[in-house]
Structure 1
Amino acid sequence: MAIQHAESAEGLREKVKSGGLVLVDYGAEWCAPCRNLTPILEDLSREYDGAVSIVKVDCDELPELAAEAGVMGMPTVVVYKGGQPVEKLVGLSPKPVYTGVISRYLN
């Protein structure tokens, strides 16, 4: 499943409430670490095809979502399971960190 881009606050809320495992990447176009995270998320999207949804939120376009998630730095990846946030990763991490988090909540 390809990475999705949040078009609206309501759309993201519905996706998160879907009950599955959802990784939401809060970032911005001008943020270099955010751009470096994109290939990692693309790899994860291919590897966990259908098992994990990945959604990107542009904090400049949807600042209310960033505020709701308590984003204080970018990138911030919030992991939702069953509609609830279960983990928050702030800053760019290596791919094994993200696969470890997915593995922890996918089971």
Structure 2
Amino acid sequence: MEKRELYDKFEELSQNLMSMLAEVEAIKANFSGILDENTALKLENDKLREHLSQVVQEETGTKMSHGKVNLEAIYDDGFHICPDFYGQRRDNNEACGFCAELLYGD
């Protein structure tokens, strides 16, 4: 390999690395934005759950226990809370009658 060819290869490698660095920086910025949005959505979700709990309490006149509130949060995150399937992810967040009975039954 001649000196000129070797120099050209290094120059090409350098350009490829610069391009890749720009891509990584763009991905990093996008990821940072997604993390910020995720944090904001989690905070909003917590506030909405708290508000929903207050509305349910006002409508029914009874307060859900802290344990039931936690179970409801797990259920809302897409997991079963019923004894038969506890901890398994609900397919497509479909409702589960056993879980609903556990949460809202008498």
**Normalised-by-shorter TM-score class:** under 0.3
Larger radius of gyration: 2
Higher helix share: 2
Question: More relative contact order in 1 or in 2 (CA 8 Å, sep 6+)?
Answer: 1
Higher strand share: 1
Normalising by structure 1, report the TM-score: 0.27
Normalising by structure 2, report the TM-score: 0.27
